[in-house]
């Protein structure tokens, strides 16, 4: 884990503790993905005035705290505002609202919406004849939703090569249903699909930069729920739970010591 | 009305490059020239309504005004969450034009009926609900709302009124003034309603915008403490709006509306109207009982 990723995970923990609500396993599994996107891939993200900016859509909304902690690192949100998480009237929450924060492209919350909306944005870019790609982060559980595959059919049919789907495949849904070979499914739907270690930033960057002329790209990022903390990786109760004072100290320590 | 719709939509697509037409596998033949001339932004999307509404939201968020055309229940009910989260929550605009009305597809059965559309969509804050009763009214309402930055539901009917009324977006039209009650007529129900109360001493207001509801006109024009709703919508639809508009006053509400039943009959629409008391004779009977 890089030092920046470690710092970000600690920031997520403090935000979760302040808000007393969180999906920490889901937020932790996509830290490297979000960092690669915002550090190395996205052009002019979060600049609503720039029509041909790259757009990032967080379809797995339950990782919102990770995104907001990253935005605070980037200076797009005052660091101290993270401490207001989940309070009445706050801008910082479990599921971000685009009307409150200019760098949020799509308000999230219900699974199966972000990807088809992102496909519509990629189509809009094509209609407008402008540059700018659309990147969308979904979860493997979210890939259960029918609308994800509706969007996949459309994106492939329209050859939306300005669209990249990244699946944070932290195998959260394996406990309930066997999704089979996700990469093969996406290929069968017409995507160029690559699978990569979702915690290796250099490898992720290469995967996201894969050439994919004439087809949308899917990157299956193999990740672990709660990556960076032994407790979060092992204990399923952390799927939706906020840390107490003692747990915060313990989890911060685990992240600090994680190799 | 379909021809007027095609003309209005064609005009918008031809004159505005930042628009797109999404057909949910209906209207493909009449729009075939448009699909050929603008293949990039006028498409028969296929048959996946929820995904289509989300795609339309993505277009809208990225600066392209979407016009979606489908069948009422498959947009209103199958896509209710998409309308709520992808349009209303995101505060972005779009157009949802439907065919089917209450039970225009009378022979197809309950799956294709949607007398609950207005009652369902009124719970989406900011959703505009338009119910034109003639082709001219469709044109006027679409012109007013297609690019207003809000989601607009335009409910078409294949059973247009013969009565011509100039309508304005967001405004009820006052067609007749009387003392004993106020009759609210909606959409294709106007002709039968006017026939039913032509010799009765009642006020008739014609509504083609149901949301935002014009409470002001009702407040100003209502008489006799009685409001009668004549609408091809499930019974109870518009009652909350009436109560809200007449706050502080005692009002008795009645109506000729579609009973809250699973409609299992086929036949012609007119046969349903007669059986449900929504033709002129039925409306008159109900109105006289109410008075």
Domain segments of chain B as ranges: 2-155, 173-290
Cβ pairs A/B, distance under 8 A: 97
Rounded Cα distance between A188 and B5, Å, is: 38
Domains B2-155 and B173-290 share a fold: yes
**CB nearest to A127's CB, from B46, B51, B64:** B64
Count of residues in chain A: 259
Residue of B48, B62, B63 with shortest CB distance to A150: B48
Q: Domains, chain A, ranges and CATH? A: 3-257 (3.40.50.970)
Q: Which of residues 16-75 of B touch A (CB under 8 A)?
A: 17-18, 20, 40-41, 45-46, 48, 50-52, 54-64, 66
Tell me the β-bridge partners of B151.
B94
To the nearest whole Å, the CA of A46 is away from the closest chain B CA by 13
Residues of chain B with pLDDT under 50: none
Q: CA B283, B288, B290, B291 torsion: positive or negative?
A: positive
Phi, psi for residue B47 in degrees, rounded to 5? -115, 65
> For the complex shown, is ipTM > 0.85?
yes
B-chain residues near A126 (CB < 8 A)? 40
Looking at domain B173-290, which of 3.40.50.720, 3.40.50.620, 3.40.50.920, 3.40.50.300 is its CATH number?
A: 3.40.50.920
Classify B2-155 by CATH class: alpha beta
The whole-angstrom separation of Cα B88 and Cα B81 is: 10
Of A97, A107, A128, the CB nearest to B64: A128
**Residue A147's closest CA among B97, B98, B122, B86?**
B86
Q: Are B181 and B284 in contact (CB under 8 A)?
A: no
Is the peptide bond between B146 and the residue preceding it cis, with omega within 30 degrees of 0?
no
Which pLDDT belongs to residue A175?
A: 80
Q: What is the spatial order of strands in the sheet that B151-155 belongs to?
A: B42-44, B19-23, B65-71, B94-99, B151-155, B128-130, B209-211
Q: Please give the mean pLDDT across all residues of chain B.
A: 97
Residue A57, helix vs strand vs coil: strand
Burial of B144 (0-12, 13-18, 19+ CB in 10 A): middle
Which region holds residue B27: left if phi is over 0, alpha if psi is between -120 and 50, else beta?
left
CA distance B147 to B15: 13
Beta strands B42-44 and B252-258, pairing class: unpaired
- Residue of chain B whose alpha carbon sits nearest to that of A133: B62
pLDDT tens, residue order, chain A (259 aa): 999 999 999 999 999 999 999 999 999 999 999 999 999 999 988 888 898 999 999 999 999 999 999 999 999 999 999 999 999 999 999 999 999 999 999 999 999 999 999 999 999 999 999 999 999 999 999 999 999 999 999 999 999 999 999 999 999 888 888 999 999 999 999 999 999 999 999 999 999 999 999 999 999 999 999 999 999 999 999 999 999 999 999 999 999 999 8
In angstroms, the separation between the Cα of residue B82 and the nearest Cα of chain A is: 7
Between chains, do A113 and B51 touch, taking CB under 8 Å as contact?
A: no
Identify the DSSP state of B186.
E
- Sheet containing strand B182-186, edge to edge, reads B173-176, B203-207, B182-186, B226-234, B252-258
Q: Give the nearest chain B residue to A121 (CA atoms).
A: B58
């Amino acid at each position: 884990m890089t030092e920046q990723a470690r710092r970000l995970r600690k920031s997520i923990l403090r935000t979760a503790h302040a808000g007393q609500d969180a999906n920490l396993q889901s937020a932790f599994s996509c830290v490297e993905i979000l960092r690669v996107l915002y550090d190395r891939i996205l052009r002019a993200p979060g600049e609503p005035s720039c029509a041909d900016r790259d757009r990032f859509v967080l379809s797995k909304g339950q990782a919102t705290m990770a995104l907001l902690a990253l935005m605070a690192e980037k200076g797009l949100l005052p660091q101290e505002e993270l401490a207001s998480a989940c309070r009445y009237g706050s801008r910082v929450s479990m599921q971000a609202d685009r009307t409150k924060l200019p760098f949020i492209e799509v308000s999230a919350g219900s699974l199966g919406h972000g990807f088809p909306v992102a496909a519509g944005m990629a189509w809009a870019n094509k209609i407008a004849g402008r540059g700018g790609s659309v990147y969308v982060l979904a979860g493997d559980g979210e890939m259960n939703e029918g609308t994800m595959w509706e969007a996949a059919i459309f994106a492939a049919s329209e050859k939306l090569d300005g669209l990249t789907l990244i699946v944070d495949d932290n195998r959260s849904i394996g406990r309930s249903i066997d999704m089979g070979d996700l990469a093969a499914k996406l290929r069968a739907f017409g995507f160029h699909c690559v699978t990569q270690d979702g915690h290796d930033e250099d490898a992720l960057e290469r995967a996201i930069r894969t050439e994919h002329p004439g087809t949308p790209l899917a990157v299956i990022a193999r990740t672990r729920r709660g990556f960076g903390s032994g407790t979060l990786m092992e204990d399923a109760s952390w799927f939706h739970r906020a840390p107490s004072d003692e747990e915060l100290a313990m989890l911060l320590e685990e992240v600090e010591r994680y190799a | 009305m379909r021809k007027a719709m095609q003309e209005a939509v064609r005009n918008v697509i031809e004159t505005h490059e930042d628009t797109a037409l999404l057909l949910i596998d209906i209207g493909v033949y009449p729009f075939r020239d448009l699909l050929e001339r603008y293949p990039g932004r006028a498409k028969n999307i296929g048959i996946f309504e929820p995904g289509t509404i989300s795609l339309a939201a993505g277009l809208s968020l990225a600066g392209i005004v979407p016009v979606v055309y489908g069948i009422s229940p498959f947009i209103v009910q199958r896509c209710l969450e998409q309308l709520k989260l992808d349009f209303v929550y995101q505060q972005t605009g779009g157009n949802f034009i439907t065919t089917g009305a209450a039970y225009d597809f009378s022979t197809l059965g309950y799956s294709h009926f949607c007398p609950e559309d207005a009652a369902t969509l009124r719970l989406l804050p900011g959703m505009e609900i338009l119910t034109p009763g003639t082709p001219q009214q469709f044109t006027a309402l679409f012109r007013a709302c297609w690019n207003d930055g809000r989601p607009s539901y335009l409910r078409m009917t294949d059973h247009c009124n013969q009565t011509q009324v100039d309508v304005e977006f967001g405004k009820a039209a006052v067609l007749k003034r009387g003392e004993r009650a106020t009759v609210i007529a909606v959409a294709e129900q106007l002709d039968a309603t006017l026939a039913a109360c032509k010799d009765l001493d009642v006020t008739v207001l014609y509504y083609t915008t149901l949301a935002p509801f014009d409470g002001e006109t009702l407040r100003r024009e209502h008489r006799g403490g009685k409001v009668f709703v004549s609408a091809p919508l499930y019974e109870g639809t518009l009652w909350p709006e009436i109560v809200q508009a007449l706050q502080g006053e005692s009002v008795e509400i009645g109506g000729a509306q579609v009973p809250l039943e699973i409609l299992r009959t086929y036949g012609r629409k007119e046969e349903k109207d007669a059986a449900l008391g929504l033709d002129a004779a039925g409306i008159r009977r109900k109105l006289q009982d109410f008075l």
